Structure 1
Amino acid sequence: MSESTPNGERQPRTGKSLKAQQRRQEILQIAMDTFAARGYTGASLQEIADRAGVTQAGVLHYFRTKAHLLTSVLALRDETDIEQLGTERPRGLAFLRHLVDTVRHNTERQGIVRLYAVLAAESVIDGHPAQDYFRERYEGLRAMVTEALAEACELGETRPDLNLKDAANAIIAVMDGLQVQWLLAPDSVDMTAATDRVITALLADLTGKPT
């Protein structure tokens, strides 16, 4: 049975029992692994259902469409990031150092990193259901890093005559690019050390002195 939202859309009934909640989480985790391995277009509901030990109708009982399953997987990924960051992020240049810690943490969760890299690249396809998610995510990341750099200027940690958006774009590009290299050759690429090296060099440029 489905329930209606205020706009009239039919939503699947997920159930409130502990068993139903556990099954929903199991499907989410399996979908996360499957999307990470095959991308959204390469993964099928049938494969996810088979791995979860349910029918396609069983999957759709919890997630009304494949696209809804994808957005739920991405929401689960964001929850893990929020838990890591905590209620308050570091300010100024301390936030850039926090990014190195984030990369170090990501080396311990290869599946989530693969999911992000695969779907981010795939989302440039016209009509991809995750396109808006990644467009908004990158806008949010740029704003967050730019804000931290602006805070650094206010705190006297950096010179004020900087193009903060360019610096923010460069940091994000380095982090995402290293993820792809690390996924392809984890034994050859130390993305924590590489990120630290780049951010250290950037800080030296931002402050006008060795860091």
Structure 2
Amino acid sequence: MDTFAARGYNNASLAEIAERAGVTQAGVLHYFRSKALLLTSVLELRDRTDIEQLGAERPRGLAFLRHLVDTARRNAEREGIVRLYAVLSAESVTDDHPAQPYFRDRYTGLRAFVTDALIEACGLPETDRARAHDAANAIIAVMDGLQVQWLLDPGSVDMAASTDLAVTSLLATLAPDRFGRPGA
């Protein structure tokens, strides 16, 4: 994780990864047939760790949206994982990057979870799914953008407070009768 986070996929060497892990390069390749498989395994480990923190069942509706704020708060305590995600997600937009399918699938799944949570929390009809989908994109974009800003200048960015403001504002916009008008 540390090597990919510090150097990105293309500049991370298997030799450095092996040295940090205390094994030979052949040892790394014994467990992970390729550097690309190692990368996807690291990303999957990151996700499993986050999922385990949720407990037996994923929260839904407003509880899931609050979980996103809690995730932003936890991320402020794990710079390496945040850096890994920020670097590799940006790198994955390049041609033939091995993490591109992972990030594409991750965004698709996360967008669906956030969309469903917004619909449930706001009591929106299915006909408003497109609005909820757009709001989900905005929440995810805010969270990802905050991570980059925080990595560059941690003292000037409160990821949890900013995420909470974005979620709260979008809830008030989507369901003013339940959550009040923004700024009111």
| Length-normalised TM-score, structure 1 | 0.79
2:150 pairs, out of 161, 182, 198, with 182
> What is the percentage of aligned positions where both structures have the same residue?
75
- Counting helix residues as a fraction of each chain, which structure ranks higher? 2
Gaps of 5+ in 2: none
Which residue of the partner structure matches residue 161 of structure 2?
Answer: 193
User: Which protein is bigger by CA-based radius of gyration?
Assistant: 1
Which residue of the partner structure matches residue 116 of structure 2?
Answer: 147
CA distance in 2, matches of 1:118, 1:146: 25
CA distance in 2, matches of 1:50, 1:124: 29
Q: Is the 8 A contact 1:159 1:206 kept in 2?
A: no
Q: 1:159 to 1:68 in 2, by over 3 A?
A: closer
Segment of structure 1 superposing worse, 201-210 or 178-187 = 201-210
Which residue of the partner structure matches residue 82 of structure 2?
Answer: 113
Runs of 4+ displaced beyond 6 Å:
none
> Cα deviation per residue 1:111-156 (whole Å; 9 max; x = unaligned)?
1111111100000011110000000000000111111122234xx4
- The structure whose RCO (Cα within 8 Å, separation 6+) is larger is 2
The root-mean-square deviation of aligned C-alpha atoms, in Å, is 1.7
Kindly provide the amino acid, as one letter, of the partner of residue 20 in structure 2: R
Alignment length, in residue pairs?
177
1:169 pairs, out of 125, 137, 140, with 137
CA distance in 2, matches of 1:199, 1:190: 14
CA distance in 1, matches of 2:60, 2:27: 45
**Residue 93 of structure 1: how far off its partner (Å):** 2.3
| Length-normalised TM-score, structure 2 | 0.89
1:94 pairs, out of 59, 63, 70, with 63
CA distance in 1, matches of 2:168, 2:8: 34
